[in-house]
Amino acid sequence: MRFHQSTTELFIPDGLEPEKALRRTTHMAISAHQDDIEIMAVEPILSCYQQSDLWFSAIVMSDGRGSPRDDLYKDYSDEEMRVVRIKEQKKAAIVGEYANLVLLDYPSKAIKDAKNRQPVEDLQLLFNATRPRFVYTHNLADKHDTHVATALRVIEALRHLPAAERPDKLFGCEVWRSLDWLLDSDKVAFDLSKHENLQSALLGIFDSQICGGKRYDLATMGRRKANATYFESHGVDISTGLSYAMDLTPLILAPEKEIIPFVQEHIQRFAHDVADRLTRVG
Least Cβ distance, residue 160 to Zn ion (angstroms): 25
Phi/psi of residue 242, each to 5°?
A: -140, 145
Least Cβ distance, residue 35 to Zn ion (angstroms): 7
Beta bridge partners of 31: 60
Nearer to Zn ion, 36 or 38 (CB): 36
Nearer to Zn ion, 33 or 85 (CB): 33
Nearer to Zn ion, 60 or 99 (CB): 60
Nearer to Zn ion, 142 or 156 (CB): 142
Stretch that binds Zn ion, among 32-40, 79-87, 240-248, 264-272 (CB under 5 A): 32-40
Whether the Cβ atoms of residue 252 and residue 132 lie closer than 8 Å to each other? no
Stretch that binds Zn ion, among 36-44, 193-201, 212-220, 233-241 (CB under 5 A): 36-44
How far, rounded to the nearest angstrom, does the alpha carbon of residue 238 sit from its chain's CA centroid?
25
Residue 29 carries which side chain, given as an amino acid letter?
Answer: A
Among 32, 135, 179, 228, binds Zn ion (CB under 5 A): 32
- DSSP class per residue in 215-268: -HHHHHHHHHHHHHHHS-SSS--S-S-EEEEEE-HHHHHSTTS-HHHHHHHHHH
Stretch that binds Zn ion, among 25-33, 104-112, 161-169, 223-231 (CB under 5 A): 25-33
Alpha-carbon dihedral of residues 134, 181, 111, 209, nearest 10 degrees? -90
Q: In angstroms, rounded to a whole number, what is the distance separating the alpha carbons of residues 193 and 105?
A: 33
Whether the Cβ atoms of residue 100 and residue 25 lie closer than 8 Å to each other? yes
The answer to whether residue 105 forms part of the interface with Zn ion (CB under 5 A) is: no
Nearer to Zn ion, 33 or 112 (CB): 33
Among 22, 34, 36, 129, binds Zn ion (CB under 5 A): 36
Among 33, 69, 112, 266, binds Zn ion (CB under 5 A): 33
Least Cβ distance, residue 151 to Zn ion (angstroms): 12
The answer to whether residue 85 forms part of the interface with Zn ion (CB under 5 A) is: no
Stretch that binds Zn ion, among 30-38, 213-221, 225-233, 266-274 (CB under 5 A): 30-38
Q: In angstroms, rounded to a whole number, what is the distance separating the alpha carbons of residues 236 and 207?
A: 35
The answer to whether residue 142 forms part of the interface with Zn ion (CB under 5 A) is: no
How far, rounded to the nearest angstrom, does the alpha carbon of residue 258 sit from its chain's CA centroid?
22
Beta bridge partners of 243: 190
| Nearest CA among 153, 70, 170, 155 for reference residue 108 | 153
Stretch that binds Zn ion, among 22-30, 33-41, 157-165, 269-277 (CB under 5 A): 33-41
Whether the Cβ atoms of residue 261 and residue 175 lie closer than 8 Å to each other? no
Measured between its terminal Cα atoms, the distance across the chain in Å is: 62
**How many chain residues touch Zn ion (CB under 5 A)?**
3
Residues in contact with Zn ion by CB under 5 A are 32-33, 36
